[in-house]
Protein backbone atom coordinates (compact mmCIF):
# COMPACT_ATOMS: atom_id res chain seq x y z
CA UNK A 1 0.00 0.00 0.00
CA UNK A 2 2.80 2.45 0.96
CA UNK A 3 4.68 1.55 -2.22
CA UNK A 4 1.56 2.35 -4.25
CA UNK A 5 1.30 5.81 -2.66
CA UNK A 6 4.97 6.54 -3.38
CA UNK A 7 4.53 5.52 -7.04
CA UNK A 8 1.37 7.65 -7.32
CA UNK A 9 3.24 10.58 -5.76
CA UNK A 10 6.09 10.26 -8.24
CA UNK A 11 3.71 9.98 -11.18
CA UNK A 12 1.94 13.15 -10.00
CA UNK A 13 5.24 15.08 -10.40
CA UNK A 14 5.81 14.01 -14.01
CA UNK A 15 4.02 15.81 -16.80
CA UNK A 16 1.28 13.80 -18.43
CA UNK A 17 2.40 11.73 -21.39
CA UNK A 18 1.41 13.09 -24.74
CA UNK A 19 0.21 10.66 -27.35
CA UNK A 20 2.83 10.41 -30.06
CA UNK A 21 2.12 12.09 -33.31
CA UNK A 22 2.32 9.85 -36.31
CA UNK A 23 5.78 9.73 -37.85
CA UNK A 24 6.15 12.43 -40.44
CA UNK A 25 3.02 14.18 -39.12
CA UNK A 26 4.84 17.49 -39.30
CA UNK A 27 2.90 19.01 -36.36
CA UNK A 28 4.57 21.59 -34.16
CA UNK A 29 5.41 20.32 -30.68
CA UNK A 30 3.17 21.29 -27.79
CA UNK A 31 4.95 23.69 -25.44
CA UNK A 32 4.14 23.99 -21.74
CA UNK A 33 5.66 26.82 -19.70
CA UNK A 34 5.40 26.17 -15.96
CA UNK A 35 6.37 29.08 -13.72
CA UNK A 36 8.61 30.60 -16.40
CA UNK A 37 7.91 33.91 -18.19
CA UNK A 38 6.80 33.36 -21.80
CA UNK A 39 9.82 35.16 -23.32
CA UNK A 40 12.23 33.00 -21.30
CA UNK A 41 10.24 29.87 -22.17
CA UNK A 42 10.61 30.69 -25.87
CA UNK A 43 14.36 31.22 -25.45
CA UNK A 44 14.66 27.84 -23.71
CA UNK A 45 12.63 26.22 -26.49
CA UNK A 46 14.88 27.79 -29.13
CA UNK A 47 17.96 26.25 -27.47
CA UNK A 48 16.51 22.72 -27.63
CA UNK A 49 16.68 22.46 -31.40
CA UNK A 50 13.29 20.73 -31.31
CA UNK A 51 12.56 19.63 -34.86
CA UNK A 52 9.00 19.84 -36.07
CA UNK A 53 7.60 16.33 -36.55
CA UNK A 54 10.09 14.56 -34.23
CA UNK A 55 9.16 16.28 -30.95
CA UNK A 56 5.71 15.87 -29.46
CA UNK A 57 6.04 18.11 -26.40
CA UNK A 58 8.49 20.46 -24.67
CA UNK A 59 7.95 21.33 -21.02
CA UNK A 60 9.91 24.22 -19.50
CA UNK A 61 9.48 24.18 -15.71
CA UNK A 62 11.01 26.65 -13.22
CA UNK A 63 13.37 24.75 -10.92
CA UNK A 64 14.00 27.59 -8.46
CA UNK A 65 11.50 29.12 -6.04
CA UNK A 66 10.82 32.03 -8.41
CA UNK A 67 11.73 32.58 -12.05
CA UNK A 68 11.62 36.12 -13.43
CA UNK A 69 12.69 37.76 -16.68
CA UNK A 70 15.93 38.75 -14.94
CA UNK A 71 16.93 35.57 -13.11
CA UNK A 72 16.07 31.90 -12.89
CA UNK A 73 16.71 28.27 -13.73
CA UNK A 74 14.43 25.80 -15.45
CA UNK A 75 14.33 22.13 -16.32
CA UNK A 76 13.53 21.46 -19.97
CA UNK A 77 11.87 18.14 -20.79
CA UNK A 78 11.63 17.10 -24.43
CA UNK A 79 9.22 14.28 -25.24
CA UNK A 80 9.76 12.84 -28.70
CA UNK A 81 6.99 11.28 -30.81
CA UNK A 82 8.59 7.85 -30.32
CA UNK A 83 8.23 8.23 -26.52
CA UNK A 84 11.88 9.03 -25.73
CA UNK A 85 12.53 11.76 -23.15
CA UNK A 86 15.47 14.09 -22.78
CA UNK A 87 15.99 16.49 -19.90
CA UNK A 88 18.29 19.48 -19.79
CA UNK A 89 18.71 22.58 -17.68
CA UNK A 90 18.38 26.20 -18.74
CA UNK A 91 19.52 29.18 -16.66
CA UNK A 92 19.56 32.90 -17.25
CA UNK A 93 20.56 36.09 -15.54
CA UNK A 94 20.45 39.55 -16.97
CA UNK A 95 23.00 42.13 -15.94
CA UNK A 96 21.82 44.47 -13.22
CA UNK A 97 20.83 47.88 -14.42
CA UNK A 98 23.86 50.12 -14.73
CA UNK A 99 24.01 52.73 -12.01
CA UNK A 100 23.32 56.27 -13.07
CA UNK A 101 26.53 58.03 -14.00
CA UNK A 102 27.88 60.40 -11.38
CA UNK A 103 28.20 63.86 -12.87
CA UNK A 104 31.68 65.31 -12.82
CA UNK A 105 31.61 68.90 -11.68
CA UNK A 106 34.20 70.83 -13.57
CA UNK A 107 34.95 74.46 -12.97
CA UNK A 108 33.71 76.76 -15.69
CA UNK A 109 36.19 77.59 -18.40
CA UNK A 110 38.00 80.87 -17.96
CA UNK A 111 37.13 83.61 -20.42
CA UNK A 112 40.81 84.56 -20.69
CA UNK A 113 44.05 82.71 -20.03
CA UNK A 114 45.61 83.73 -16.73
CA UNK A 115 49.03 85.36 -16.61
CA UNK A 116 51.02 83.11 -14.28
CA UNK A 117 53.76 84.69 -12.19
CA UNK A 118 56.01 82.32 -10.25
CA UNK A 119 53.86 79.22 -9.82
CA UNK A 120 53.27 75.95 -11.71
CA UNK A 121 50.72 76.15 -14.57
CA UNK A 122 48.26 73.67 -13.05
CA UNK A 123 48.18 75.56 -9.72
CA UNK A 124 47.95 78.85 -11.59
CA UNK A 125 44.87 77.71 -13.51
CA UNK A 126 43.35 76.23 -10.34
CA UNK A 127 43.81 79.52 -8.44
CA UNK A 128 42.50 81.56 -11.42
CA UNK A 129 39.31 79.51 -11.68
CA UNK A 130 38.58 79.44 -7.94
CA UNK A 131 36.83 82.81 -7.92
CA UNK A 132 33.14 83.36 -7.26
CA UNK A 133 30.99 82.21 -10.24
CA UNK A 134 29.26 85.63 -10.27
CA UNK A 135 32.64 87.27 -10.84
CA UNK A 136 33.35 84.82 -13.68
CA UNK A 137 29.99 85.66 -15.27
CA UNK A 138 30.99 89.30 -15.69
CA UNK A 139 33.22 90.15 -18.70
CA UNK A 140 36.87 89.65 -17.69
CA UNK A 141 39.70 91.53 -19.37
CA UNK A 142 42.65 89.90 -17.59
CA UNK A 143 43.61 87.56 -14.74
CA UNK A 144 46.98 87.71 -13.03
CA UNK A 145 47.95 84.91 -10.66
CA UNK A 146 50.99 85.92 -8.62
CA UNK A 147 53.04 83.89 -6.14
CA UNK A 148 54.41 85.59 -3.02
CA UNK A 149 57.74 83.84 -2.38
CA UNK A 150 58.26 80.28 -3.61
CA UNK A 151 55.37 78.26 -5.04
CA UNK A 152 55.69 74.55 -5.79
CA UNK A 153 53.08 72.00 -6.88
CA UNK A 154 52.73 71.08 -3.17
CA UNK A 155 52.58 74.48 -1.47
CA UNK A 156 52.43 78.20 -2.03
CA UNK A 157 50.65 81.46 -1.35
CA UNK A 158 49.78 84.55 -3.36
CA UNK A 159 47.01 86.56 -5.00
CA UNK A 160 44.74 86.36 -8.01
CA UNK A 161 43.95 89.78 -9.49
CA UNK A 162 40.95 90.00 -11.80
CA UNK A 163 40.43 93.05 -14.00
CA UNK A 164 36.90 93.28 -15.41
CA UNK A 165 36.22 94.74 -18.87
CA UNK A 166 33.41 96.94 -17.53
CA UNK A 167 36.00 99.18 -15.77
CA UNK A 168 34.80 98.11 -12.33
CA UNK A 169 37.22 97.78 -9.43
CA UNK A 170 39.78 95.01 -9.73
CA UNK A 171 39.13 91.98 -7.59
CA UNK A 172 42.02 90.64 -5.51
CA UNK A 173 41.78 87.16 -3.98
CA UNK A 174 44.44 85.99 -1.53
CA UNK A 175 45.12 82.25 -1.51
CA UNK A 176 47.23 79.62 0.21
CA UNK A 177 47.60 75.94 -0.65
CA UNK A 178 49.58 73.13 0.97
CA UNK A 179 51.55 74.31 4.03
CA UNK A 180 51.71 77.91 2.81
CA UNK A 181 55.16 77.79 1.18
pLDDT of the residue at 75: 92
CA atoms of 117 and 99, how far apart (whole Å): 44
- Side by side, the strands of the sheet bearing 171-177 are 115-117, 140-147, 156-164, 171-177
Q: What is the mean pLDDT of residues 17-23?
A: 40
Contact between 81 and 54 (Cβ < 8 Å): yes
Angle at 9 between CA 85 and CA 4, to 5 degrees: 110
Contact between 31 and 62 (Cβ < 8 Å): no
Write the CB contacts of 1 (distance below 8 Å, at least 6 apart in sequence): none
More confident residue, 75 or 180: 75
pLDDT of the residue at 61: 93
Confidence of residue 108 (pLDDT cuts 50, 70, 90): low
pLDDT of the residue at 73: 92
pLDDT of the residue at 135: 75
Amino acid sequence: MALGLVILGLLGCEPPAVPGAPAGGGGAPQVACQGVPDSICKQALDTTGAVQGTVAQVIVRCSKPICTEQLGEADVLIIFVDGRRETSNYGWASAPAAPAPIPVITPPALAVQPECQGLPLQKCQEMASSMDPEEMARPIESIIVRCNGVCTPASGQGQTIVHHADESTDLTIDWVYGNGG
